[in-house]
A and B are shown apart, each in its own frame.
Chain A
């Protein structure tokens, strides 16, 4: 039977020696500090207060807008369309890459000049690269006046019946 020479066998390094432990502690602390700095860095670059305009707009009295009319609000980037079902506040911002579409009254369509997307008056895509129909915003009647809240995106078929 062969004897095993214990002294010749390498001792398994199960314990951390001081150098390794301090090294791990040091790099751990450095990693933690780096992570904290990155988080605080992103928080710093994230604005807490924005001086952007109020997204609620008063438009006018619903009885002044006949069925089929498109009210173009270029500054607000919204079309208020009086569909047969009711009022729809459709965004004028193309769903492709965010350009401003224009209302073409002869063709009765919305057209994006950047890459040629075409939408019908309900906001459905009828041509071009646009991936989805134009989203609609909330419309309410407040003291007899139509109000659009562009901070509230509603479901794609939302209309206000008056």
Chain B
């Protein structure tokens, strides 16, 4: 093997258990996996791969979202027309917009199914309780991303959905009015609100979610991979 390849891949051909292990934990992208996984753990029916699929939809949403950002201006005169241009003028724009939209729906569904799977498997039990809490935060982040993305097309549905949503915040006792004012950056759904939701949707929430996912997966790995019932128990 030549020196350049050796400097990148620092283990031998994965034909022994040792080299197979090295292949996983010397690789940045694979090291989220535990070095050793049980066959039971990687069976489809064990997890239905719901966590991984949630992460996959997040990846699709990041890529399509960045591509949509090349055409979209978060301003009142342009937002709606840019959205229409993406649908009718931009090459493959309608494909990317719909991919973003359907992936967003899928992500919410997959995260919920993942949560249900984890609950019924009992995988939230010690020592994994705090990872369940992180999971709930990730669910909240997913829902907030859907909600902030809802305003960006700047059509009637977007406008009234966010009017209704911020009025729910308004109903919080004592500080509700201030929360609504801060969310919108004003007294109504206008250009400040659009810009605020755009920044939250494109920067703040995805960054927070990425950190949360990293911690979530890291903790699974540190607990020895996904939760498995003891084979002899009748649980």
Interface residues of A (CB under 8 A from B): 42, 45-47, 50, 52, 97-99, 114
For chains A and B in complex, what number of residue pairs have CB atoms within 8 angstroms?
29
Give every chain A residue within 8 A of B164 (Cβ-Cβ): 97-99, 114
User: A46 CA to B186 CA in the complex, in Å?
Assistant: 9
User: A50 CA to B181 CA in the complex, in Å?
Assistant: 11
The 4 closest A-B pairs by CB, nearest first: A98-B167, A97-B164, A97-B167, A98-B163
| Most chain B CB within a 10 A radius of its CB, from A45, A46, A97, A98 | A98
B173 CB to nearest A CB, Å:
14
B190 near A52 with CB under 8 A, answer yes
B163 near A99 with CB under 8 A, answer yes
B187 near A42 with CB under 8 A, answer no
A42 CB to nearest B CB, Å:
7
Give every chain A residue within 8 A of B186 (Cβ-Cβ): 47, 50, 52
A28 CB to nearest B CB, Å:
27
Could you jot down 28 A-B contacts, CB within 8 Å?
A42-B182, A45-B182, A46-B181, A46-B182, A47-B185, A47-B186, A47-B192, A50-B186, A50-B187, A50-B192, A52-B186, A52-B187, A52-B188, A52-B190, A97-B163, A97-B164, A97-B167, A97-B168, A98-B163, A98-B164, A98-B166, A98-B167, A98-B170, A99-B160, A99-B163, A99-B164, A114-B160, A114-B164
Interface size class, chain B: 10 to 19
Interface residues of B (CB under 8 A from A): 160, 163-164, 166-168, 170, 181-182, 185-188, 190, 192
- Interface SS of chain B: helix
Closest residue of chain B to A151 (Cβ to Cβ) is B187
Closest residue of chain A to B187 (Cβ to Cβ) is A52
A152 CB to nearest B CB, Å:
14
Closest residue of chain B to A46 (Cβ to Cβ) is B182
B76 CB to nearest A CB, Å:
11
A115 CB to nearest B CB, Å:
9
Give every chain B residue within 8 A of A114 (Cβ-Cβ): 160, 164
B52 CB to nearest A CB, Å:
36
A118 CB to nearest B CB, Å:
18
A116 CB to nearest B CB, Å:
14
Given the known A-B contacts A52-B190, A97-B167, A98-B167, are A45 and B185 also in contact in the complex, defined by CB atoms under 8 Å? yes
Give every chain A residue within 8 A of B166 (Cβ-Cβ): 98
